[in-house]
Amino acid sequence: MVVAFGLGYSVTPWEVRGHVDYDRLVEEFGVQRIGGELLEKLETLAGDLHPLLRRGFFFAHRDLDLVLREYEEGRGFFLYTGRAPSKSPMHLGHVIPFVMTRWLQEKFGVNAYIMIPDEEKFLAKKVDSLDEVEPYIHQDILNIIALGFNPDRTFIFRDTEYVGRMYRAAVEVARHINLSIAKATFGFAGETSIGLVFYPALQIVPTLFEDKRPLIPCAIDQDPYFRLQRDVAPKLGRRKTAELLSKFVWGLTGPESKMSASEPETAILLNEDLDSAARKIMNAFTGGRATAKEQRKLGGVPEICPIYHWYTILFEEDDGKLRDRYQACKAGELLCGECKIELAERVKAFLRKHQERVKRAEGLVRKFMYDGKLATRMWNWEFRR
Ligand code: TYM
């Protein structure tokens, strides 16, 4: 099991560096590409296909075929994903797994569990104190609620608060993971805190919340946790988890960068001031040429352009219009300045709407975390083999 490579990039749950070779990653992680037939089946069952699936941004999976089969047979499934609060707010890249989870919840009418591991970044030594993440926990929860989950079918919980209900299951999971496997999976070393070594057991627990197959939409950096789950679950008499895995949203500084809140110029934060978001976009790297004259003559290179990338993932739903944009760029008819201005307007509109929803989300927090239908049930959850 490998989580990092020496070939100019690395992918672990705590760090993604360099230009990721997804073909190589698929092979090394042992996941499957999402092929045409599977997408067709998903489209038939869901009624349509989300652009992030149509355009291959969610590009790999584990056992998605089983999820769909079990759904068809009436056995159902449930959704699980999460966000570890850090010392900065969520950015547009973090939205992707939640957008997909929400879409699947709506299409299949299933429960969704959202973990807020408020200890993970502390144990991974990404922050200096637990207090440092505290101001962002509530903000992250509001951002997630604002994306439109069903309050009676979604349970949002933070580890430091809900751990009492999870601990028994975590212990059962942890017993089946030895240190050699944990090291090989995550690259733990002598200086790793013992808290981080135990943490994967907790991240696995929500996959045991229901006696159905879990489906986890996330970026591929989270796969190591769930590879372990797939070893352990059968030993606890539970189903191996399925995964729906995305690529990484690029930062504004180019395809070599992953959007990262710790590098503010690469990222648009969800609470960002609209003018600041527009400024970042106007300053972004593009696939354009050095001068307008050259661009008209040679055309741009949308394949390496973060601006075009952002249209493909969140800011152009219409495939025909996306194709037109691509061709106009290639033909040198569309210049970068114009393309950026349009994107800036769309991002501003998205943020304006999102920030309004965040204000309204405040009134829904209790339902998602404590007294909605699913939340109420989960505060009485007990792990039983
Ligand atoms: P975290 O907080 O680092 O990231 C939250 C989710 O966002 C995904 N992600 C991205 N997706 C696309 N482009 C990017 N640039 C990008 N950066 C991050 C991550 O894959 C993740 O899905 N350990 C987790 C928290 C967690 C979790 C889970 C995640 C707990 N349980 C179950 C997924 C499923 C974490 O640190 O996520």
Segments in the chain below pLDDT 70:
1-8
Strand 242-246 and strand 58-62: the pairing is antiparallel
Burial class (CB in 10 A: 0-12, 13-18, 19+), 380: exposed
246 ligand 1 Cβ < 6 A: yes
pLDDT in tens, 76-128: 999 999 999 999 999 999 999 999 999 999 999 999 999 999 999 999 999 99
The pLDDT value given to residue 83: 98
Interhelix angle for 64-72 vs 36-46, to 10°? 40
Give residue-wise pLDDT tens across range 160-179: 999 999 999 999 999 999 99
Ligand 1 contacts CB of residue 96 (under 6 A): yes
338 C-alpha to center of ligand 1: Å? 32
Atom of ligand 1 nearest to the CA of 216: 34
Q: What is the rounded distance in angstroms from the CA atom of residue 351 to the CA atom of residue 336?
A: 22
Confirm if 215 and 25 have CB atoms less than 8 A apart. Answer: no
Q: Is residue 223 within 6 Å of ligand 1 at its C-beta? A: no
The minimum-distance atom of ligand 1 relative to the CA of 220 is: 20
Q: How far apart are CA 282 and CA 336, in angstroms?
A: 9
Q: Report how far Cα 205 is from the mean position of its chain's Cα atoms.
A: 18
The residue among 250, 317, 328, 259 whose CA lies nearest residue 54 is 317
Instruction: Please tell me the distance from the alpha carbon of residue 199 to that of residue 206, in angstroms, as a whole number.
Output: 13
> Which candidate, 29, 74, 60, 78, places its Cα nearest to that of 208?
78
Q: Whose CA is nearest to atom 21 of ligand 1?
A: 218
Q: What is the pLDDT of residue 1?
A: 41
**Is the minimum distance from the CB of 84 to ligand 1 under 6 angstroms?**
yes
CA separation for the pair 302, 290 (Å, rounded): 15
pLDDT of residue 7: 55
pLDDT score of 253: 87
Tell the residue nearest (CA) to atom 16 of ligand 1. 93
Q: How much is the pLDDT for 15?
A: 80
Structural contact between residues 369 and 156, judged by C-beta atoms closer than 8 angstroms: yes
